Every structure is written in structure tokens, then in C-alpha cells.
Amino acid sequence: MYRSGAVMAWNVFKFCTALRGLGSIMILLVLGVVGVTYYAVVLTNYGPSLYEGGLDSFVALGVLILFHCLLVMLLWSYFSVVLTDPGSVPPNWRPSVDEERGESDPLNGSDFSILQSDLSHTRIRFCRKCNQPKPPRCHHCSVCGRCVLKMDHHCVWVVNCVGALNYKYFLLFLFYTFLETSVVTLSLLPHFIAFFSDGEIPGTPGTLATTFLAFVLNLAFALSVLGFLVMHISLVAANTTTIEAYEKKTTPKWRYDLGQRKNFEQVFGTHRLYWFIPSYSEEDIRRIQALQGLEYPSWPGFDSEEF
């Protein structure tokens, strides 16, 4: 039975390795959508409206400022996910005595009273593909070919795994993508409605087609990203990942659930000024550096004495 399951898993993930070939194609696709949207909003519609004067100029100015601010945050978050290592297991890493007994989790600092109730947690986890032990909440990515700390999933859109060290950036990418696509959809809605009116529509066939395409693309992305955003907000609130939500059994208490606020701070940090930008404070950076070495992080809100 076990052998059959192993063969099935191997056959599935064998095809996942084809995703490596996408590489920069997905990045170019994202930039292509951004380019079409920029051309439709800025160069075709609201840019020229700035010179018309009156109320249209003020509306155009407001749309353009909001559009560019969200676009900067979107691209900043996107390339932060693409370029940031999600977190890998240090070479020759071995669990400490406490970790072997299930008394602590270097990625989370969980309560021993909860951990000791799970007998399976007392075993040392070992990755057969990497041929080395792996820490708690660590999973092997068959696309990247390595184990990733607190892996959530491999995202083809960012050509990278989403894990412990770039999960915040991924969530901000979803957040700003939803805001940006919603703003574009609403701003282009009057122009989209004009396509079906009887009056004459200004512009060349090319600009009209670009506006129509940009509206449809941004509406589709806004609706789809909203679903992912809601799902990941619920995962953050429970301090779990997409993989864990799929694999974990129904239990009265999820061992890593520290309460919604601390769960949120584990991803976004403790400093509010950094919550909405793809960056961390110095204290959070020290925590991340400790995390990369799988040392227990000591930082406000996650002090080991609290657990």
C-alpha cells in the first residue's frame, strides 16, 4: 500500500518539474499585463484627460496618482517574492535534543504542552529526496528540488516557492494586485460601457481594443485574486499554510495557533510601519537571520519565556 502511494506521488511530481521551464516567461507575462494596463489607463485615457481642464482633469489626476502608487507597491512586492529565497535548511543541520523530543519548534516556538500530545511529532522528520533531516513545518518542493522552510506552495506566477522568508511579500503582492486591478476596473468601466453605446467613441481601433482588453484582464484578476487573498488571510489567522491546511487532521487545537494577533505578527512583524511594505524592521531582520540558521528567535511578542 505504501509503495503504491509512493509511486503515485512520484508520477505526479515528475510532471511538476516541467514548471521550471517557465522561468522568466511568467515574469514577462506579468510585465506584459502591466504594460497593457499602463497603456490603456495612462497613455490612452486618463493621461490625455489631464489637459482637458475642469472636473475631468481633477478626476484624471486622482486616478493617475492612485494608479501609480499602487503599481509601485505591486511591483515592489512582486519582485520581492521573486528574488527572495523562501528559506532553505542549512547544510548539515541536525535537530537539537529538545526538538527531537518535540519540546520546541525553531520556526515557531510552540507550547510544549500542546506538542507532547502529538506522538508523531516526537519523531525526527527526514527527507528522502534531500537525504537529510528536515525541521518542523518544512516540506520538499519537487519543482525547486529542495526543502523549504514553512513552505506554503510553489507559485508559477512568481517563479519561486512561497515559504517562511517571503510569505509576507507574497501576501502583499496579492493585496496590492487586488487593489490595483479593482481601481483599473472601476476607472475603465465607463469606457467599457461606451463600447456598447450608440454614440461615437473617440480613439483609434488599436486604443479601443487595448482598453477593452485591459478592462477584461483586470476584472478577471481582481475576482480571482480576491479568492486567494481571502483564503490566505484565513490561513494567517490560524498560523497554518496551504500544505498544512490540506494535510493536517481535524484537531481541537492546532499546535502552532498562538492567537490571531501573534499569528499575524509572525508573518508581518511587530512594527506597524512595516506591515504594508515588503520590508522588515531591524528586529524582524534579526529574527529572520536567526530563522535562516534555525536558531530560536527572541523578539517582542515571541519571547521563549511566554511558551
CA dist list (Å): 160 to 75, 90, 137, 148, 279: 15, 19, 18, 11, 18
Q: What pLDDT is recorded for position 296?
A: 41
Is there a domain that residue 15 lies in? no
- Burial of 195 from C-beta contacts in 10 A (0-12 / 13-18 / 19+): exposed
Is there a domain that residue 140 lies in? yes
Is there a domain that residue 32 lies in? yes
**144 and 253 both lie in a single domain:** yes
Is there a domain that residue 92 lies in? no
**Tens-of-pLDDT digits for all 307 residues of the chain?**
434 443 334 444 444 555 566 667 889 999 999 999 999 999 999 999 888 878 889 999 999 999 999 999 999 999 999 999 998 888 877 776 544 444 444 455 443 333 333 334 446 788 888 888 888 889 999 888 899 999 999 998 999 999 999 999 999 999 999 999 999 999 999 988 887 776 666 777 888 899 999 999 999 999 999 999 999 999 999 999 999 888 765 556 778 888 999 999 989 999 999 999 999 998 888 877 776 666 544 333 333 333 2
**75 and 108 both lie in a single domain:** no
Is there a domain that residue 161 lies in? no
Picking from 193, 214, 237, the residue at the C-terminal end of a domain is: 237
Picking from 214, 237, 260, the residue at the C-terminal end of a domain is: 237
Instruction: Give 216's contacts (C-beta < 8 A, 6+ positions apart).
Output: none
Q: Just list the catalytic residues.
A: 155
Helix (H, G, I), strand (E, B) or coil at 154: strand
Domains in the chain, number: 2
- Burial of 79 from C-beta contacts in 10 A (0-12 / 13-18 / 19+): middle
Is there a domain that residue 91 lies in? no
C-alpha 148/C-alpha 243 separation (Å) is 12
**35 and 139 both lie in a single domain:** no
Is there a domain that residue 7 lies in? no
**142 and 202 both lie in a single domain:** no
**79 and 38 both lie in a single domain:** yes
**176 and 229 both lie in a single domain:** yes
Q: Return the H-helix or E-strand segment holding 139.
A: strand 138-141
**Structural domain range at position 203:** 21-85+167-237
